[in-house]
C-alpha cells in the first residue's frame, strides 16, 4: 500500500514538473534571473537590439572588446573622432501601432486555435501601445545611449576627456526628431557620468546633416513620394514566401485565410520585436512565428531598406553627399557626435560601397540571398554607430573606421587603418563631386 502511495505521489509530482515545463516552454517565458531571448530575435532587422549584434554586452553592457578592433602602431595617437549614431530603442511609429492594434483585435475576436500562447494573448496580454507613443524613445533607448557614451570613453580615453568637454572640443549634433534629441541628452548624461563631471555641453539640431533625405528634392520626388520605387517590396509581400507565412499564421490562429494579410503578419512580428526590445520580454507573439517565417519577415524589412535607403536607387546614397563631405571636414572639435536615424546611416554606408552584395536583393531571389551581406539588423540596429577615427602617426595621418564597435576595412583598400591620403584617393570622385545641390536637383528633362 505504502509503495503504491509513494508511486502515485512521484507520478503526480513528475506530471506537475512536466506540465510546468511545457507551459513555460511554449509561451511567454519570464526568468527571474536571465532574459530569455526569442529564437527569432536575430531576424528583427532595424527593430533589433544592439545587444544582438554584440552579444558580449548582454553580460556586461559597459564591456569593450578589443579583439574586434584593429589599431595602428602604438606610435600613433588619436586626434579626432566622428561618431554617427542611430537613436536608441524606441516605440513603434503610429502607422505600426495602428496595424498592431488591428491584429491584436483580430486575434482576440476570431482566433480559436488551441496554442497555449493564444490563451495567454487572449486572457493576459493587453494592447498597451497608444498612438501618442509614435516612435518616441523608451527608457531602454536612453540606456542604450548612456552606455554607449561610457564605452566610447573607454575606447577613446585621450579624446573623450574632461578637458576636451570643458574647452568645447566635444560637439553634439542631433536630428530634430524627439527620439534623437532625447538620445543625445542621454548620451550627454552618460558622458558626464563616465567622466564624473558636471559641465555645460550644448547640443545643436542640424537636420540638413541628420535628415538630409527630407531636403533632397530628387530623393523626395523619385523615392519617398514614388510608390513604384518600392515595387520590389510590394511584389515580395504579394509573393509565395509571404503567402506561406500568412497561411501558416491563419492555421495557427484557426481563422479564415482571407483575414490574414501581409500587414497582419508584419504587425504580429512587430509585436514580438517591440515587446522584446522595449520590455526585454519573450512575449507570446513570438511563438506565432517559426524560423522560416522570421527569415521571410527579415527579408521583407531588408528589401525596404535596400530599395528606400540603399543600393536600390542611386539617389538614395547620393542624397547623403552632404554628410559624406562633413565626414572629411574636420571641425576644430576633438570629438563630433551626430545622432540620427537608420536612414541617416544607411545611405552613407552605401555611398562608401559598404555591405554591397554581388546580386541585388529582389522580390524573386529570397531563396539565394540567405547569406547576403545586406542585413539591416546587423548594420543599423538601435544605437548603431559609425566611428571614424583619425590617428597621428610618424608616417602621417591614418583613418580607422568602425561600425557597431567593430573595425571595417573600406572597400578597395586593404589596410584596416589606411593612410588618410589613400582614403581620399579611393573616394576622390566623391570628394571632388557629390555636390548636394547638384545631385538633389530635379532633372526636368
Ligand atoms: O516601419 P517604421 O514606421 O518603423 O519605419 C520608420 C523607420 O524605422 P525603421 O524602418 O528604420 O525601423 C524610422 O527610422 P528610425 O531609424 O528613425 O527608426 C523612420 O524615421 C520612420 O520615418 C519610418 O520610416 P519610413 O521609411 O517612413 O517607414
Domain assignment of residue 79, yes or no:
yes
- 206 Cα–ligand 1 center, Å: 19
Domain assignment of residue 109, yes or no:
yes
Rounded distance, CA 66 to CA 155, Å?
Answer: 9
Place of cell 509565395: 240
Query: What does the pLDDT read at residue 291?
Result: 97
Instruction: With a cut of 70, say whether residue 19 has pLDDT above it.
Output: no
Domain assignment of residue 18, yes or no:
no
Query: What does the pLDDT read at residue 97?
Result: 98
Confidence of residue 114 (pLDDT cuts 50, 70, 90): confident
H or E segment to which residue 170 belongs: strand 170-174
Strand bridging mode 406-408 / 396-403: antiparallel
Q: In this structure, are residues 332 and 80 in contact, taking their beta carbons and an 8 Å threshold?
A: no
What number is the average pLDDT over the span 329-358? Answer: 95
Q: What does the angle CA 38 – CA 44 – CA 47 come to, to the nearest 5 degrees?
A: 115
Domain assignment of residue 13, yes or no:
no
95 Cβ inside 6 Å of ligand 1: yes
Confidence of residue 443 (pLDDT cuts 50, 70, 90): confident
Tens of pLDDT, residue by residue over 162-194, are 999 999 999 999 999 999 999 999 999 999 999
Angle at which helix 116-123 crosses helix 94-110, to 10 degrees, equals 110
Query: What does the pLDDT read at residue 212?
Result: 98
Count each helix (H run) and each strand (E run) in the chain, helices first: 21, 7
* DSSP line for 378-400: HHS-TT-EEEEEEEEETTEEEEE
Number of domains forming the structure of the chain: 1
Q: What is the best residue among 44, 87, 93, 224 to mutate for testing ligand 1's pocket, by most ligand atoms within 8 Å of CB?
A: 93
Place of cell 500500500: 1
Rounded distance, CA 372 to CA 357, Å?
Answer: 6
Instruction: With a cut of 90, say whether residue 433 has pLDDT above it.
Output: yes
Domain assignment of residue 28, yes or no:
no
In the chain, helix, strand, coil percent, each to 5? 55, 10, 35
87 classed as catalytic: yes
Q: Is the ipTM of this complex over 0.90?
A: yes
Domain assignment of residue 45, yes or no:
yes
Residue nearest to atom 12 of ligand 1 (CA): 46
Tens of pLDDT, residue by residue over 48-63, are 999 999 999 999 999 9
- 343 Cα–ligand 1 center, Å: 8
Q: In this structure, are residues 180 and 294 in contact, taking their beta carbons and an 8 Å threshold?
A: no
Instruction: With a cut of 60, say whether residue 240 has pLDDT above it.
Output: yes
Q: Residue 160 sits in which domain range?
A: 41-440
Tens of pLDDT, residue by residue over 200-223, are 899 999 999 999 999 999 999 999
Rounded distance, CA 432 to CA 229, Å?
Answer: 29
Domain assignment of residue 49, yes or no:
yes
- 8 Cα–ligand 1 center, Å: 58
Question: Over pLDDT 90: what percentage of the chain?
Answer: 88
Rounded distance, CA 380 to CA 343, Å?
Answer: 9
Q: In this structure, are residues 83 and 385 in contact, taking their beta carbons and an 8 Å threshold?
A: yes
3-state secondary structure of 292: helix
Strand bridging mode 335-340 / 406-408: unpaired
Q: What is the best residue among 46, 50, 90, 348 to mutate for testing ligand 1's pocket, by most ligand atoms within 8 Å of CB?
A: 46
Residue nearest to atom 5 of ligand 1 (CA): 93
Q: CATH no. for residue 424?
A: 3.40.50.1240
Query: Could you say which of 15, 30, 80, 87 is catalytic?
Result: 87
Beta strand extents in 57-167 (DSSP E only): 77-86
Looking at the DSSP assignment, which residues form a beta bridge with residue 205? 174
Tens of pLDDT, residue by residue over 401-413, are 999 999 999 999 9
Instruction: With a cut of 50, say whether residue 120 has pLDDT above it.
Output: yes
Question: Over pLDDT 70: what percentage of the chain?
Answer: 92
The mean predicted confidence, pLDDT, of the chain is 93
Residue nearest to atom 22 of ligand 1 (CA): 93
Rounded distance, CA 281 to CA 117, Å?
Answer: 14
Q: In this structure, are residues 31 and 24 in contact, taking their beta carbons and an 8 Å threshold?
A: no
Domain assignment of residue 111, yes or no:
yes
Amino acid at each position: 500500500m505504502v509503495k503504491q502511495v509513494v508511486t502515485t505521489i512521484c507520478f503526480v509530482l513528475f506530471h506537475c514538473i512536466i506540465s510546468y515545463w511545457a507551459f513555460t516552454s511554449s509561451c511567454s517565458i519570464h526568468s527571474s534571473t536571465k532574459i530569455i531571448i526569442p529564437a527569432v530575435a536575430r531576424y528583427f532587422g532595424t527593430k533589433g537590439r544592439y545587444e544582438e549584434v554584440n552579444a558580449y554586452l548582454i553580460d556586461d553592457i559597459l564591456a569593450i572588446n578589443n579583439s574586434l578592433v584593429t589599431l595602428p602602431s602604438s606610435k600613433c595617437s588619436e586626434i579626432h573622432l566622428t561618431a554617427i549614431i542611430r537613436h536608441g530603442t524606441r516605440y513603434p511609429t503610429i502607422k505600426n501601432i495602428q496595424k498592431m492594434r488591428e491584429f491584436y483585435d483580430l486575434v482576440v475576436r476570431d482566433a480559436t486555435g488551441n496554442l497555449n500562447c493564444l490563451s495567454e494573448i487572449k486572457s493576459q496580454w493587453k494592447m498597451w501601445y497608444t498612438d501618442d507613443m509614435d516612435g518616441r524613445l523608451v527608457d531602454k533607448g536612453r540606456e542604450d545611449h548612456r552606455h554607449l557614451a561610457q564605452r566610447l570613453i573607454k575606447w577613446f580615453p585621450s579624446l573623450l576627456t574632461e578637458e576636451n568637454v570643458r574647452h568645447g572640443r566635444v560637439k553634439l549634433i542631433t536630428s530634430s526628431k524627439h527620439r534623437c534629441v532625447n538620445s543625445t541628452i542621454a548620451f550627454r548624461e552618460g558622458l558626464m557620468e563616465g567622466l564624473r563631471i558636471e559641465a555645460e555641453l550644448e547640443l545643436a539640431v542640424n537636420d540638413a546633416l541628420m535628415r538630409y533625405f527630407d531636403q533632397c528634392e530628387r530623393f523626395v520626388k523619385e523615392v519617398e513620394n514614388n510608390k513604384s520605387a518600392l515595387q520590389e517590396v510590394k511584389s515580395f509581400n504579394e509573393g509565395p514566401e509571404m503567402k506561406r507565412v500568412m497561411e501558416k499564421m491563419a492555421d495557427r490562429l484557426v481563422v479564415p485565410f482571407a483575414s490574414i494579410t501581409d500587414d497582419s503578419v508584419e504587425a504580429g512580428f512587430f509585436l514580438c520585436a517591440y515587446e522584446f526590445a522595449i520590455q526585454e520580454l519573450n512575449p507570446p507573439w513570438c511563438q506565432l512565428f517559426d524560423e522560416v517565417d522570421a527569415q521571410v519577415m527579415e527579408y521583407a524589412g531588408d528589401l525596404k531598406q535596400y530599395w528606400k535607403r540603399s543600393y536600390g536607387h542611386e539617389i538614395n546614397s547620393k542624397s547623403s553627399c552632404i554628410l559624406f563631405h562633413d565626414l572629411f571636414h574636420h571641425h576644430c572639435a576633438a570629438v563630433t557626435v551626430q545622432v540620427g536615424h537608420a536612414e541617416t546611416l544607411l545611405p552613407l554606408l552605401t555611398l562608401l560601397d559598404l555591405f554591397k552584395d554581388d546580386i541585388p536583393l529582389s522580390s524573386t531571389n529570397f531563396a539565394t540571398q540567405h547569406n547576403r551581406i545586406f542585413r539591416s539588423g546587423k548594420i543599423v540596429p538601435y544605437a548603431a554607430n559609425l566611428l571614424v577615427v583619425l590617428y597621428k602617426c610618424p608616417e602621417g595621418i591614418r583613418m580607422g573606421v568602425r561600425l557597431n564597435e567593430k573595425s571595417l576595412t573600406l572597400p578597395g583598400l586593404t589596410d584596416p587603418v589606411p593612410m588618410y591620403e589613400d582614403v581620399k584617393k579611393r573616394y576622390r570622385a566623391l570628394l571632388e563631386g557629390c555636390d548636394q545641390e547638384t545631385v538633389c536637383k530635379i532633372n526636368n528633362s
